[in-house]
Every structure is written in C-alpha cells, then in structure tokens.
Amino acid sequence: MKKLIMKFASFMRDRYARVDSISLACIFAHILTDIISMFFRGSIIVHTVLLVLSMAFAIYAVYRPFSKSIS
C-alpha cells in the first residue's frame, strides 16, 4: 500500500491539485444542467445535448486539479 501511495504522490508532483472557484462553478453548472435536462425528457435532442454539456462540465471539473498548468 505504501508503494501505491508513493506512486500517487509522484504522479501529483508539480500539479495544481486544488479545487478552485472555476472547478466549483463547473460542478454547479453540471448539477444545474442535469436538473434542467430532467424537464426536457420528451425532447430527445435537447435532453441529449444537455447531458453531453453536463458531462463536459463534470470532466473539466475533475481534469482541472490534475492539470500541470497552474495559471
């Protein structure tokens, strides 16, 4: 287990590793678009577009803390 922790620590070296205001805004937008998409289940195209947008917000919110770009 210690070896796994050391590998993860090595992986996270020089990474941003923080949840900042942009990540929180993406999480909020993800939740909001999920809620809005529930009202458009009758329209398959609108529902699908909102779900894809919601997934993009979620992926970006997870990607940001693992990014090496600090700016």
Cα–Cα distance for residue pair 56/71, rounded to 1 Å: 21
pTM of the model: 0.77
pLDDT in tens, the chain (71 residues): 899 999 988 888 877 777 889 899 999 999 999 999 999 999 999 999 999 999 999 999 999 888 877 66
Cα–Cα distance for residue pair 6/38, rounded to 1 Å: 42
